[in-house]
Amino acid sequence: MKRFVLTGGPGAGKTAILRQLELDGFSVVEEAATDIIALEQARGVAEPWTHPSFLDSIAGLQRRRQIGTPCEAGKVQFHDRSVICTAALAIYLGYPVSDVLSLELERIRAEAIYQKHVFFIRNMSFITPTEARRISFEEALRFERVHEETYRSFGFEIIPI
């Protein structure tokens, strides 16, 4: 199976592209961070990203989804972000890389989970805020740069879209 990561800054259109890939018959794996944010907000935590454990929750859900989403041998699967995105988020937020996150990064490297070409969706020159996306366009651009640098530091080639 070939697993490709679809990534980029917040609000760039990754989910819309993922939906089209799914309609075209590809196996897809959903983003974890948005679901963790929604769950924590439902529990009354207004800004879950302010808690360092947030990153471990994302990494755990990413792992469960990656392992639990079946795909036939020889087929292509697309992932809306990966644990490397979570490492980029740690850098962006100024949090240390936890043991949980570090172990997951090592696992995906050792098992060569993802193809080394990453589809990087560029920003659309604006951002639409949501409950989970409370970031300015300027902050989104900074996060996009951190994201790209983080993937490159892990040896991935960026394919800009």
According to DSSP, the residues that pair with 6 across neighbouring strands are: 80, 119
pLDDT digits (tens, 9 = 90+) for 22-52: 999 999 999 999 999 999 999 999 999 999 8
pLDDT attached to residue 33: 94
Q: Over range 118-143, report the average pLDDT.
A: 86
Instruction: Enumerate domains of the chain plus CATH numbers.
Output: 2-160 (3.40.50.300)
Q: What is the strand order of the sheet 117-121 is part of?
A: 27-29, 76-80, 2-8, 117-121, 157-160
pLDDT over 80 (residue 132)? no
Spatial contact of 25 and 135, defined as CB atoms under 8 Å apart: no
CA terminus-to-terminus distance, the chain: 23
* Strand, helix or coil for residue 120: strand
- pLDDT, the chain, mean: 93
pTM of the complete model? 0.93
